[in-house]
Amino acid sequence: MTCEPVLSTCRNVPTSSGRKMSVTYATTKDLVRDLYPEIEPYQSGFLRVSDLHEIYYEQSGNPHGKPIVYLHGGPGGGTSPRDRRYFDPAVYRIVLLDQRGCGQSRPSAELRENNTWSLVADIEKLREHLKIDRWVVFGGSWGSTLSLTYAETHPKRVKALILRGIFLLRREELLWFYQEGASFLFPDFWEEFLAPIPEVERGDLISAYYRRLTGENDDEKLSHYFVNGGFFDEKDQILKDTYKILEHKIPTFVVQGRYDVVCPMKSAWDLYRAMPTMELHVIVDAGHSAKEDGICSKLIHAADQFRKL
């Protein structure tokens, strides 16, 4: 897998207060950049985080390097060996973990005691277990949700944020993807998504899938978080709490695909409006996946940029 660097243009964007912000627009170009070489963990294990759950984690790269933690997407995803390769292994102490019920964590697919705040607490327990003072936090899609929430809960422990495909877990985002919106772009796949749900239940597809949580379908597992509104106390909680990130002057680097249908650019734009000091890099010919060349390249660039922190 290779990643292509991108050439950027900037323009100023006026805010409601009259202050101008800059946003970078980039397109994938010809000069190829590789991911860092494949590496193996130098240490891995399981951390008991509750009477029920233990999470898998691993460390690779430089044992004495600068800590960076990778938060995977989902909810319900997991890590892979490729996820180690965004980071310079000579510089970074690379920490990967599988969230509760995900990947190699045990028990698999367990929804009890599984919510956003438990995951945030698990990240902090792992940091303490590894005796890390502060670290860079890296996450995309659902991983961006978790990264932002962790940073707002434990801002003193975050050196920087590298985010991709912003997902703020608001009702409007869920309705776009799971009720009506993306369905206009992908009517063929949408038909398959609707197929298991009786006509009478299709007015609320998230709830319909939630009632089928005992199934094995990954889409059904996702709805555990979505039907509960991410377990947040109020609407727009992530945006309302961005002042904590700003107060602690946490550098924030966001990569967003212009044609991201899963996590549309509006969420990244709303975050940018709330955090005018963050860097927003729009990849104009990309979608959602971190494996797309332009997005991949920009993420590696961000990690390289923070090597000096």
Q: Which residues are catalytic?
A: 141, 260, 288
Taking every pair of Cα atoms in the chain, the longest distance, rounded to a whole number of angstroms, is 58
The shares of helix, strand and coil residues in the chain, as percent rounded to the nearest 5, are 35, 25, 40
Name the helix (H) or strand (E) containing 140: strand 135-141
Contact 28, 294 (CB under 8 A): yes
* Alpha-carbon gap, residue 308 to 211, rounded angstroms: 48
Helix (H, G, I), strand (E, B) or coil at 157: helix
What b-and-e string marks burial along 188-220, b requiring 16 or more CB atoms within 10 Å of the CB? eeeeeeeeeeeeeeeeebbebbbebeeeeeeeb
